[in-house]
Amino acid sequence: MSRFIRHCTGWRRLYSSVGASDIDHFKSILPPAAILSTVSPSALPSAELDPYNNDWMGKYHGSATTVLRPKTTQQVSDIVRWCASRNIAIVPQGGNTGLVGGSVPLHDELIVSLANMNTVRSFDPVSGILVADAGCILQSLTDYVAPHNHIMPIDLGAKGSCHIGGNVATNAGGLRLLRYGSLHGSVLGLEVVLPDGTILDQLTTLRKDNTGYDLKQLFIGAEGTLGIITAVSVLTPPSPQASNNVILALPHFDNVLPLYKTVKRQLSEILSAFEFIDRTAYDLAVKHGQGRALSDEDVDGAACFVLVETSGGRREHDEEKLTDLLTSLLEADSPLINTGVLSQNPAQFSSLWALREGVTEAVSKEGKAYKYDISIPLASFKDVVDATREHLRSKGLLGDHAVKHVLGYGHVGDGNLHLNIIAAAYTQEIQDALEPFVYELVASYRGSISAEHGIGAMKTHALHYSKNDVSIEWMKKIKALFDPLGIMNPGKVLE
């Protein structure tokens, strides 16, 4: 059985569906338990594949008939080689926590899940360099390096499910980017199975290596369109000796920018996060049990909140700096903040973080979310949220029957706003009201339509709002060079 599907370069070309003879071949590569298929003779009920065919938000739905769960790089290579010979399209899948529809098929592509590739290959406690299979869950790697007094350079709300391979494939940002920079800097090496099955071994553990083109960078953020990442070498920083956090309640959004400047100046080297949630995001986090609510007195009159984290080498020194900061903020002639709630113990530290980290979870409990993950000038965060809300109001779409909330939160230090629109259901009418409106708004600030979540299936048509024609043309040339058959995650990143 075969069908046509749109190829990334605009040609229409043929992909094959997985058939019984393919399953027979996969049985020569993998043990039976690693093959989940609704194709006879394996014939599982299709509901068994639901967790792989549906994304985290319940927004994107594929109809793969087969999921393969290899354990070794060689098995991944054998699978891909076979798919290339048969023209079977592949979707690499990690923890399936992506928010742009990149991790599920558009049609019936084969899903290659990395979940069984979950072994740490090596860790050097002196250099802090960790080499791990791509399917290792981020939280389990954090737990692995913790006794060696190291942390992962990346942290995000999905850490209990997302894979390090998925993090690299999406170039995930998250909560520690302000301190440790992007994965383009922390990833030292990769092992990748290319779309013809070749294993590209660039799994070096070198801090410095200027031997020509740095090929691994191409796979960081390629969202599985250039190959399947099977292992990652990553530099893990030493654990800070002391971490503190505080939530600051602000009377106006306009105070966020001057506050950021003040906090940077006063905390300097110990500032490790500066995260923003607006009042709606805070209220939803509390409503859905993410962290402990602040007292009524603390939230009274607050238009938004900022979570500040410090990480440093000496507790007394850091606490003194933070206390001095709070005192100077509260005693200023025109205070930028109403109040500050400082964590006093590890449980309170986690609870304050949960108010910020848990917003995505809270949003998903509240309704169906349209998510725009944008880079814009910090001063415009509120304008963009307000303009979107007003636009929806003008279309008569605001209200419990359609759009329930429009909210903003995100990584101030990275200039990254998460604009979320929560609706009772996903509808074409809301979608049409939001797009291209939001993308045009972002383009008017010369911003990015994807700060950290990627393009996936969601934004292929909108790439031109942030990338010019020459850039897109060269992206297509690179795709065609690595994947001339177009079998690797088709319809993602590029149309």
Give me the residues that bind ligand 2HG (CB under 6 A), please: 99, 157, 359-360, 371, 373, 410, 418, 420
Helix, strand, coil content of the chain in percent (nearest 5)? 40, 25, 40
Residue closer to ligand 2HG by CB (options 26, 370) is 370
Comparing CA positions, the residue from 64, 109, 92, 74 lying closest to residue 197 is: 74
Q: What, of ligand FAD, ligand 2HG, none, does residue 492 touch, CB below 5 to 8 Å by kind?
A: ligand FAD
The pair of three-digit structure tokens given for residue 264, joined into one six-digit string:
């940077």
What does 420 bind: ligand FAD, ligand 2HG, none (CB cut-off 5 to 8 Å by kind)? ligand 2HG
Q: Are 188 and 206 in contact (CB under 8 A)?
A: yes
The nearest distance, CB 452 to ligand 2HG, in angstroms, is 6
CA distance 309 to 413: 12
- Closer to ligand 2HG at the Cβ: 59 or 69? 59
> Please, what is the minimum distance in Å from the beta carbon of residue 165 to ligand FAD?
3
415 interface partner picked from ligand 2HG, ligand FAD, none, CB below 5 to 8 A per type: none
Quick one: what does residue 361 bind among ligand 2HG, ligand FAD, none, with the CB cut-off 5 to 8 Å set by partner type?
ligand FAD
Q: Which C-beta is closer to ligand 2HG: that of 70 or that of 98? A: 98
As measured in angstroms, the least distance from the Cβ of 479 to ligand FAD is 14
134 contacts 164 by C-beta, under 8 angstroms: yes
- The first and second tokens of residue 171, run together, are 């170039």
Laid out side by side, the sheet with 304-312 consists of 339-342, 242-250, 304-312, 271-278, 403-411, 416-423, 368-375
Q: Which is nearer to ligand FAD, 167 or 233 (CB)?
A: 167
Report, in Å, the least distance between residue 262 CB and ligand 2HG. 23
**Dihedral angle at the C-alpha atoms of 441, 447, 452, 454, nearest 10 degrees?**
70
Round to the nearest angstrom and report the end-to-end CA distance of the chain.
24
For the bound state, the minimum distance from the C-beta of residue 490 to ligand FAD, rounded and expressed in Å, comes to 11
Q: Decide which of ligand FAD, ligand 2HG, none touches 163; Cβ closer than 5 to 8 Å per partner kind.
A: ligand FAD
Positions that interact with ligand FAD (CB under 6 A): 56, 91-99, 102-103, 114, 134, 156-158, 162-163, 165-167, 169-170, 172-174, 223-224, 228-229, 360-361, 452-453, 456, 489, 492
- Least Cβ distance, residue 418 to ligand FAD (angstroms): 8
492, 170 Cβ separation under 8 angstroms: no
Of the two residues 22 and 452, which places its CB atom closer to ligand 2HG in the complex?
A: 452
Return the structure tokens found at 189: 């090496």
Whether 172 and 156 have beta carbons less than 8 Å apart is answered as yes
Amino acid at 352: L
- Report whether 99 contacts 371 (CB < 8 A): yes
Q: Where are the beta strands (DSSP E) in 44-109?
A: 66-68, 90-93
371: partner contacted, choices ligand FAD, ligand 2HG, none (Cβ within 5-8 A by kind): ligand 2HG
Residue 474 makes CB contacts below 8 A (sequence gap 6+) with none
Residue number, nearest CB to ligand FAD: 166
375 binds, among ligand FAD, ligand 2HG, none (CB under 5 to 8 A by kind): none
CA dihedral over 481, 94, 448, 269, signed as positive or negative: negative
Which residues fall within 8 angstroms of residue 451, CB to CB, at 6 or more apart? Answer: 173, 373, 374, 375, 411, 414, 415, 416, 417
* Helices 279-287 and 346-357: angle between axes, nearest 10 degrees: 120
Angle at the Cα of 114 from the Cα atoms of 68 and 223, rounded to 5 degrees: 110
Q: How far is the CB of 259 from ligand FAD (least distance, A)?
A: 21
When the beta carbons of 338 and 460 are compared against ligand FAD, the nearer one is: 460
> CB of residue 211 vs ligand FAD: minimum separation in angstroms?
24
Task: Report in angstroms how near the CB of residue 80 gets to ligand FAD at its nearest.
Answer: 11
Query: Which CB sits closer to ligand FAD, 96 or 338?
Result: 96
Complex with ligand FAD: residue 189 or 340, whichever CB lies closer: 189
**CA angle (444 as vertex; 9, 259 as ends), nearest 5:** 120
Shortest distance, position 438 Cβ to ligand 2HG, whole Å: 13
For residue 56, the partner it binds in ligand FAD, ligand 2HG, none, with Cβ less than 5 to 8 A by kind, is ligand FAD
69/159 with CB nearer ligand 2HG: 159
Instruction: Supply the minimum distance, in Å, between the C-beta of residue 157 and ligand 2HG.
Output: 5
Residue 170: contacted member of ligand FAD, ligand 2HG, none (CB under 5 to 8 Å, by partner type) = ligand FAD
Longest dimension (CA), the chain: 77
Pick the closer one to ligand FAD by CB: 433 or 462: 462
Q: 37 is written with which tokens? A: 């298929």
DSSP strand pairing (110-113 vs 66-68): parallel
489 binds, among ligand 2HG, ligand FAD, none (CB under 5 to 8 A by kind): ligand FAD
Q: Is residue 62 within 8 Å of residue 107, measured between CB atoms?
A: yes
Which of ligand 2HG, ligand FAD, none sits in contact with 358, Cβ below 5 to 8 A by type?
Answer: none
CB of 297 vs ligand FAD, minimal distance in Å: 30
| Residue 418 interacts with, from ligand FAD, ligand 2HG, none (CB under 5-8 Å by kind) | ligand 2HG
Of 102 and 340, which CB lies nearer to ligand FAD in the complex structure? 102
